[in-house]
Chain A
Amino acid sequence: MEGSGLSLQRQRQRTTNRAAAVFLAPVMILLVIFIFYPILDTFITSGYKWNGISADKEFIGVLNWVALVQDGKFWVAFRNNLVIMVLSISVQIPIGLALATFLDFGGKKLNVYKVLWFIPLLMSSVAIGFLFTYALATNGGIVSTISGWFGGGKIDLLGNPKLALLTVIAVICWQFTPFYMVYFMAAYTNIPFDVFEAARIDGATKGQYFWKIALPLLVPSMKSAAILSMVGSLKYFDLIYVMTGGGPGTSTELMATYMYKQSFKTFNMGYGSAVAGGMFILITMVSLITMKLLNGRKEV
C-alpha cells in the first residue's frame, strides 16, 4: 500500500513536470533564439574582424576589446550615458513627484492638468525626436521664437556642442516626466486613507502631511523609479539617434548610437559587437552596484 502511494506521488510529480515543460517550452525557445544565443554570438563575433557582408572573417582574438578599452569615443559615449542617467533621475523624479502631489492634493477637479501633462507620453521617441529637431531649430523653432519675443537673438541648441547634450536631456525629461507622474499617483493611492485622516485630525497642514508623512512613505517608490530611469538611460537610443545622430562631434554620442554606427553605418561588425558587449557588461555592472547601494541604505 505504502509503496504504491509513493509511486502515485512520483507519477503525479512526473505529470506536473511534463505539463510545466510543455507550458514553458515556447517562451524558452524564443528566449534562446532571440536573446541568449544572440548574446553569446555577439561575444563570439567580437573576436573577429568582419564587415558583416563578405565571407572572409578574420579571427583577431581580443584585439577588438583592446581597441575598445583604448577607444576615447566609447568612453565619451559612456560618460554621456551617465550624464543622462544622473540628470534624468534628478529632473524627472522630483518634477513627476511634484505633479503627482499637486493632482493628489487637488482632487478630481484637476483632471484637465493630468490629461494635458500626459500628452508627451503618447508620442513615440522617434516622433518626438523629429518634432524637436524642427521645434528647436535655429530658424523657426519654438525657443528662438520665444527668445525673439523678448528681444533675444536666435538660439542654436542642437548645433552647439556645449548645449546639445543638455538640450537632448531636456527633451528626454519632457517625454518621461509624465510617466513618473502617473507612477507617483499610483504610489499615492497606495497610502492608506487612514494615514491621511489621522494626520488631519492631529491638525497637520497639507505641507506637513507631505514632508513628514507622505514623502517618507514614498521613498521605496522613488527608489524603484530611480532604478527604472537608470536602466532606461543607459540603454537610450531612438530619440538621440533621430535628433542628433550622436553629434555634433561626439557631444551626444551614446553607447547604443556608437554601437549602431560602428555596426550598420561603417560596417565594422566585429568591433560593433565588442561595443555591444562592452555596453552589456557596463550596464550590468552599473545596475548591480546601484541596486546594492539602494537596498543597502534601506537596511541602515
Chain B
Amino acid sequence: MRHIISILMENEPGALSRVVGLFSQRNFNIETLNVAPTEDPSLSRLTVTTVGDDRVIEQITKHLNKLVDVVKLVDLTEGNHIERELMLVKVKALGAARDEVKRTVDIFRAQVVDVTPSLYTVQITGDAGKLDAFLQAMAPVGILEVARTGVSGIARGDKVLSL
C-alpha cells in the first residue's frame, strides 16, 4: 500500500542524505520526495511517498525515527489528510489543438502560466491521480516537458505535526 510519511528534521547539512540513504541502504522504496524549511528555520519538513506492506512501513517509520536528525514524523495515510502535488507541464499548442488544450486546462482547473506561439506552460495542483489524469489527457497533443514537485501533505482537522 502507498503511504505518505511527513518528517520534521533538523535543517542541517547531511540530514537529507541520511534520510535518503536509509531508504536505499535498507532496500525501502521512494516514490516521491519533497523537502523545504518550515516557519522555524531550524526545521525542515520532508515528505516521502513509499509503497510497502504493514511490516515494511513499520520498519521504515522505526528506522526514520532512529535517525538522530529526525525530530518527529507522521504517517499521513493513517488518518484523513490532504495530499497535494504541483506540476508544471509544457504542452504543444498549435492550430486546433490550441483551443482544445485550453479547454482541458479549464476542466482540470489548471492554469496557463506562460505562453509562446507554439506551446502553453500549464500549472496544475492536486493529488497524484489528478496529475496523472491530466498528463494522460495531454498525451495525444504532445507533452514537451514535465516538472512535478512530489507529494506534500497535511492531516485534516486539529491534528498538527509540530514540536
Are A and B associated in one complex?
no
